[in-house]
Amino acid sequence: MHFEGSVPIRASRERVWAFVTDPDQVGQCGPGVEKIEVMDPTHFKATAKVGIGFISARFVVNMEFAEQQPPDRALIKAHGQAPGSAVDATAEMRLSDGADGTTVMDWNADVNIAGTLASVGARLIEGTANKMIGKTFDCMRTKLEA
Amino acid sequence: MTTETTPRTSPEIGGMGHSVKRKEDPRFIRGAGEYIDDLVLPGMLWLDIVRSPYAHATIKGIDASEALKIPGVLAVITGADLEKAGLHWMPTLAGDKQMVLPTTTVMYQSQEVAAVVATSRYIAADGVAAVLVDYEPLPVIVDPHKALEPGAMVLRPDRAADKQTNRIWHWESGDAAKTDAALAAADVRVSEDIYIPRIHVASIETCGCIADWDAVRGQMTLHMTSQAPHAIRTVLALVSGLPEQNIRVKTHDMGGGFGGKVPVYPGYVLAVVASLTVGKPVKWIEDRSENLQADSFARDYHIHAELGATKAGKITSLKVKTIADHGYTDAAADPSKFPAGLFNVITGSYDFDNAFVEVDGVYTNKPPGGVAYRCSFRVTEAVHAIERMVDILAHDIGKDPAQLRMENFIQPEQFPYKTPTGWEYDSGNYGVALQKAMDMIGYDDLRKEQAAKRAKGELMGIGISSFTEIVGAGPSHDFDIIGLKMFDSCEIRVHPTGKVLARIGVQTTGQGHETTFAQIIAEELGFPVGDIKIEYGDTDTAPYGLGTYASRSTPVAGAATAMAARKIRDKARKLAAHLLEASEEDLEWEPGKFSVKGSPDRFKTIQEIAFAAYTNHPAGMEAGLEAVDYYDPPNLTFPFGSYICVVDIDKGTGQVHIRRFVAVDDCGNIINPMIVDGQIHGGLTMGLAPSLYEAITYDELGNNLAGTFMDYLVPTAVETPAWETGKTITPSPHHPLGAKGVGESATVGAPPAIANAVVDALWHLGVRNVDIPMTPQKIWAILHEKGIS
């Protein structure tokens, strides 16, 4: 599945960059995130409960900042597993200056979901994912624009 | 040929032709059946399976430490454990091999990866959730056409050096050169791509077993859901090295088989290994999603067919090229010589000389299988293709599809008829069956109504399917499974009080064998059907048999039962002669007694004879009244029928509504008309299912998108139309009872009738083919494209 979008945020590019590359800060905006463990500056592990329809699973997701060009671009790779399900994702984020001092975040993500969650929740995945993405960005904007 | 069944026996005896109520139903209706999941043995443990979320991945490691910390989890079995005993791979019935548990690579989503043994089903499931498997995803091949492309990743590098390709095998039948020449010379050629999607038998009872190893006695008892318990016993003896007399395979009541309980699944093997290891009974039972996602599938044939004919519509030739998607291993349950089953029966009910059929079996990242889902080894696929092609030809040349069929049928006087792919049809009378179906449904009036409706823009279609089945495998010169010849058997014991115990080599998954096999004995010996008990499914007591599938119970074991009964009748005649002080030649038999010719009041009943066999047998004769027969059929049997379906299509939603469906079947002489009707009603519903609802599809990552009954739509009474059934009776000339088998006819015959009706409703819009399932979405998209709303 491919997702992409563009989000204007009323905050400076440096502030946005610092926020999104800090697992402890950005992690709080991930829906269902229960725990964030920072392994090293580019590797961290999140535990998150994800529900699709009537199924929910607790995923342990290993994430890596595969590439970072501050304060312009970052590439994140993630691999997560839950009993019977797995998720593999690559997400790219580009920051640029928008009008009136805003920062524009252009992002895209390729997400592969395997196992029970994909099999049983197939018809609901895309809608659920869009909702989760929307919530994440709403949370980030609220925190950054505060 | 007749259309009526006139019983030879009285209703009290209840032989062939009587609608005797099913002897097994009282326990089913009262909830007193005994299924594997009902069975609990003392000290029993439970096994549950860790399954792969990925359709193709490398296993980098399995960490069972957290699972083993759970109180009640006793063991976690991995492929590495099995490898030490050489049990990580097992042979399939089709001569390929299949992983019991993987050591390096998983090949399909939901494949078994590890097994957890625990003190309860719940704890076992908790253990499964706690096993951590480290996977590295690999590219996935879902489409068999891509699997055959040059340079495609080889999915089974374990095969021999000259087999480093995803093509498992290539199989062909018929004469390619003659067929090409006939096609080239044909006035009319029609060709079409037809896909028969992957479906699942979806039995109401999932698969399961209890393996019970008694180390003191050296005895393995395997209670399991199997359609072929004797074959399982032999395979288990060969693989495990356990002596075969110390292996007992026992089936209990089973909630449906339909071919899905023929294969050996890794779960069975794991339960056996676990029980051998811990010395306690171990139960494995699948949940619904495991059953739908991991058990052997059916169909999945990509067919390209080309039909040649004269201008007048006389068929001259048929050429078929098919890609068979077998998943990651060929675990089909076809007879050894037939990797594509009996698919070359694809020339159907029609008389023409030239046919060529080729099939390539292909590996993909999907679950293995290729079971004959209520169809005798790929006959459903064959019948669908030929019946669709004949309909397309009729529409193309503007001839009524019924008329075109009538003009091309093999005629009654042509039997026995040799088909261009080598089968010898023993009997048939196709025109009469089609005419009867047309009369029942009022065919001519329906065509007039259709024309009137079409003028008003309404979508109504009429579809015909005039199928010929090929069942009852099979003659030993051609038919075996892993070398075991496909005979079948019956042993009859008549007790002194005139009551009968018979054991048969086939078993039942709901077909009513306890009733119909008793009726065969009642027919042959005249014992009342209520005095006859039928047992099956216990390898310690039942004579060896190859099991129940491919509509083979009546053609093979039914014949064995009649032959064993006739051996008993022969001995009973000798006993009667002794009792009546007459010569054997002077005795006359009628069901239930021997009498002296010309003196009808001098007779002995079969019950009196039975008593004498134990109390007053003549000198020089063995006591007792028992017989056994192993029947090797001289040919297969060829049930046929004509089905007509009328559909109305909703232009707004694309929904197909089946208004009427007439099914005229010819299964030869009928043992129990009520049970035959039940088989046909059930079979028609199982034919409706893939026509309109069921299909297992995969996303590009190999995720099964029909893993629950939310997405795999099994029709219920709500979706099922009121079936109208009729019969013609053309006895099989070689079967002792003239019977042919009926379990699968309707599943095979119904889908093309429905598909032909839908295409008939849409033909004037330029639609030549709609692949099943013909869902509202699919039909709506076609209508939308054609500008209809």
Measured between CB atoms, does A1 come within 8 Å of chain B?
A: no
Contact A21, A74 (CB under 8 A): yes
Nearest CA in chain B to A58: B129
Per-position DSSP letters for B230-296, written without gaps between them: HHHHHHHHHHH---GGGEEEE----S--TTTTSSPPHHHHHHHHHHHHHSS-EEEE--HHHHHHHS-
Phi-psi region at B537: left, alpha or beta (left = phi > 0; alpha = psi -120 to 50): left
Distance CA B654, CA B789 (A): 9
Neighboring chain A residues of B710 at a CB cutoff of 8 Å: 120
User: B240-262: per-residue pLDDT in tens?
Assistant: 899 999 999 999 999 999 999 99
User: B486-497: per-residue pLDDT in tens?
Assistant: 999 999 999 999
- CATH number of the A2-145 domain: 3.30.530.20
Distance CA B117, CA B103 (A): 19
Measured between CB atoms, does A112 come within 8 Å of chain B?
A: yes
Does residue B18 form part of some domain?
A: no
Asked if A114 lies within 8 A of B701 by C-beta distance, the reply is yes
Last residue of a domain, one of B582, B610, B631: B631
Tokens of B358: 């080729």
Does residue B184 form part of some domain?
A: no
Q: Please give the tally of structural domains in chain B.
A: 3
Residue from the list A83, A114, A119 with its beta carbon closest to the beta carbon of B129: A83
Distance CA B707, CA B294 (A): 9
Tokens of B88: 């990580």
Does residue B149 form part of some domain?
A: no
Measured between CB atoms, does A85 come within 8 Å of chain B?
A: yes
**Distance in Å, alpha carbon of B106 to nearest chain A alpha carbon:** 13
Q: Where are the domains of chain A?
A: 2-145
Nearest CA in chain A to B67: A83
Closest to B417 measured CA to CA, from B475, B473, B320, B348: B348
User: B48-102: per-residue pLDDT in tens?
Assistant: 999 999 999 999 999 999 999 999 999 999 999 999 999 999 999 889 999 999 9
Q: Which one of B374, B388, B503, B569 is the catalytic residue?
A: B374
Instruction: Say if residue B627 is in the same domain as residue B639.
Output: no
Instruction: Say if residue B285 is in the same domain as residue B359.
Output: no
Measured between CB atoms, does A115 come within 8 Å of chain B?
A: yes
Tokens of A117: 């969650």
pLDDT of B558: 98
Does residue B155 form part of some domain?
A: no
Distances (CA, A) of B521 to B172, B349, B524, B610, B738: 42, 33, 5, 14, 15
Instruction: Say if residue B290 is in the same domain as residue B306.
Output: no
What would the mean pLDDT of B730-758 be, rounded to a whole number?
A: 97
Asked if B132 lies within 8 A of A84 by C-beta distance, the reply is no
Question: Can B375 be counted among the known catalytic residues?
Answer: yes
User: B378-393: per-residue pLDDT in tens?
Assistant: 999 999 999 999 999 9
Nearest CA in chain A to B696: A119
Asked if A85 lies within 8 A of B701 by C-beta distance, the reply is no
Tokens of B370: 């290729």
Asked if A115 lies within 8 A of B129 by C-beta distance, the reply is no
Neighboring chain B residues of A47 at a CB cutoff of 8 Å: none
Judged against a pLDDT cut of 80, whether residue B3 lies above it is answered with: no
Contact B96, B361 (CB under 8 A): no
Instruction: Say if residue B516 is in the same domain as residue B652.
Output: no
Range list of β-strands (E), B282-404 = 282-285, 297-309, 315-325, 354-362, 369-371
The CATH number that applies at residue B392 is 3.30.365.10
Q: Which one of B207, B209, B375, B645 is the catalytic residue?
A: B375
Distance CA B96, CA B106 (A): 17
What would the mean pLDDT of B420-435 be, rounded to a whole number?
A: 98
User: B181-222: per-residue pLDDT in tens?
Assistant: 999 999 999 999 999 999 999 999 999 999 999 999 999 999
Contact B523, B15 (CB under 8 A): yes
Judged against a pLDDT cut of 60, whether residue B1 lies above it is answered with: no
**Distance in Å, alpha carbon of A122 to nearest chain B alpha carbon:** 7
Distances (CA, A) of A136 to A9, A12, B477: 13, 19, 69
Last residue of a domain, one of B294, B318, B349: B294
Instruction: Say if residue B545 is in the same domain as residue B678.
Output: no
Q: Estimate the share of chain B in helix, then strand, then coil, as percent rounded to the nearest 5.
A: 30, 25, 40
Measured between CB atoms, does A113 come within 8 Å of chain B?
A: yes
High-pLDDT (> 70) share of chain B, %: 99
Closest to B329 measured CA to CA, from B287, B292, B303, B294: B294
Asked if B704 lies within 8 A of A119 by C-beta distance, the reply is yes
Neighboring chain B residues of A115 at a CB cutoff of 8 Å: 51-54, 109-110, 703
The CATH number that applies at residue B62 is 3.90.1170.50
For chains A and B, CB pairs below 8 A equal 60
Instruction: Say if residue B222 is in the same domain as residue B110.
Output: yes
Question: What are the residues of chain B with a beta carbon less than 8 Å away from any beta carbon of chain A?
Answer: 51-55, 109-110, 128-130, 132-133, 135, 137, 289, 293, 699, 701-705, 707-708, 710-711
Asked if A119 lies within 8 A of B137 by C-beta distance, the reply is no
Q: For an interface test with A, which of B52, B128, B701 has the most A Cβ atoms less than 10 Å from its Cβ? A: B701
**Distance in Å, alpha carbon of B706 to nearest chain A alpha carbon:** 7
Nearest CA in chain B to A123: B705
Nearest CA in chain B to A60: B132
Does residue B165 form part of some domain?
A: no
What would the mean pLDDT of B715-739 be, rounded to a whole number?
A: 97
Which residues in chain A land under pLDDT 50? none
Tokens of A89: 């994702």
Q: For an interface test with A, which of B106, B126, B699, B711 has the most A Cβ atoms less than 10 Å from its Cβ? A: B699
Instruction: Say if residue B668 is in the same domain as residue B627.
Output: no
User: B504-552: per-residue pLDDT in tens?
Assistant: 999 999 999 999 999 999 999 999 999 999 999 999 999 999 999 989 9
Asked if B703 lies within 8 A of A119 by C-beta distance, the reply is yes
User: B95-151: per-residue pLDDT in tens?
Assistant: 999 999 999 999 999 999 999 999 999 999 999 999 999 999 999 999 999 999 999
Instruction: Say if residue B443 is in the same domain as residue B314.
Output: yes
Closest to B498 measured CA to CA, from B532, B539, B474, B467: B532
Last residue of a domain, one of B631, B664, B697: B631
Please give the helix or strand (H or E) that residue B220 lies within, else none: strand B219-224
Instruction: Say if residue B305 is in the same domain as residue B423.
Output: yes
Instruction: Say if residue B435 is in the same domain as residue B515.
Output: no
Does residue B193 form part of some domain?
A: no
Neighboring chain A residues of B701 at a CB cutoff of 8 Å: 112-114, 118
Tokens of A23: 């697992």
**Distance in Å, alpha carbon of A100 to nearest chain B alpha carbon:** 43
pTM value is 0.96
> 3-class SS at B422?
coil
Question: Can B608 be counted among the known catalytic residues?
Answer: no
Residue from the list A81, A84, A88 with its beta carbon closest to the beta carbon of B51: A84
Does residue B534 form part of some domain?
A: yes
Say how many C-beta atoms besides its own lie within 10 A of residue B457's C-beta. 8
Neighboring chain A residues of B52 at a CB cutoff of 8 Å: 115
> 3-class SS at B451?
helix
User: B291-347: per-residue pLDDT in tens?
Assistant: 999 999 999 999 999 999 999 999 999 999 999 999 999 999 889 899 999 999 999
Judged against a pLDDT cut of 90, whether residue B165 lies above it is answered with: yes
Neighboring chain A residues of B132 at a CB cutoff of 8 Å: 81
What would the mean pLDDT of B566-574 be, rounded to a whole number?
A: 98
Please give the helix or strand (H or E) that residue A108 lies within, else none: strand A103-115
Cα three-residue angle B399-B405-B406, rounded to 5 degrees: 100
pLDDT of B4: 64
Distance CA B465, CA B468 (A): 10
Neighboring chain A residues of B699 at a CB cutoff of 8 Å: 118, 122
Distance CA B353, CA B188 (A): 16
Phi/psi at B561 (nearest 5 deg)?
-65, -45
Distance CA A79, CA A108 (A): 17
Measured between CB atoms, does A88 come within 8 Å of chain B?
A: yes
Contact B394, B307 (CB under 8 A): no
Distance CA B671, CA B5 (A): 9
Distance CA B290, CA B270 (A): 15
Question: Can B374 be counted among the known catalytic residues?
Answer: yes
Nearest CA in chain A to B710: A120
Neighboring chain A residues of B695 at a CB cutoff of 8 Å: none
High-pLDDT (> 90) share of chain B, %: 96
Neighboring chain A residues of B53 at a CB cutoff of 8 Å: 81, 84-86, 114-116, 118
Q: Which one of B98, B109, B111, B227 is the catalytic residue?
A: B227
**Distance in Å, alpha carbon of A84 to nearest chain B alpha carbon:** 5
Instruction: Say if residue B313 is in the same domain as residue B419.
Output: yes
Asked if B289 lies within 8 A of A113 by C-beta distance, the reply is no
Does residue B167 form part of some domain?
A: no
Distances (CA, A) of A1 to A48, B53, B97, B139, B351: 20, 17, 34, 15, 51
**Distance in Å, alpha carbon of B747 to nearest chain A alpha carbon:** 27
Q: What average pLDDT does chain B have? A: 96
Instruction: Say if residue B111 is in the same domain as residue B246.
Output: yes
Nearest CA in chain A to B109: A115
Contact B504, B536 (CB under 8 A): yes
Asked if B699 lies within 8 A of A122 by C-beta distance, the reply is yes
Distance CA B90, CA B474 (A): 26
| Dihedral angle, C-alpha B716, B718, B719, B720, nearest 10 ° | 80
Structural domain harbouring B763 = 298-473+635-785
Residues 6+ apart with CB under 8 A from B102: B59, B79, B88, B111, B112, B113
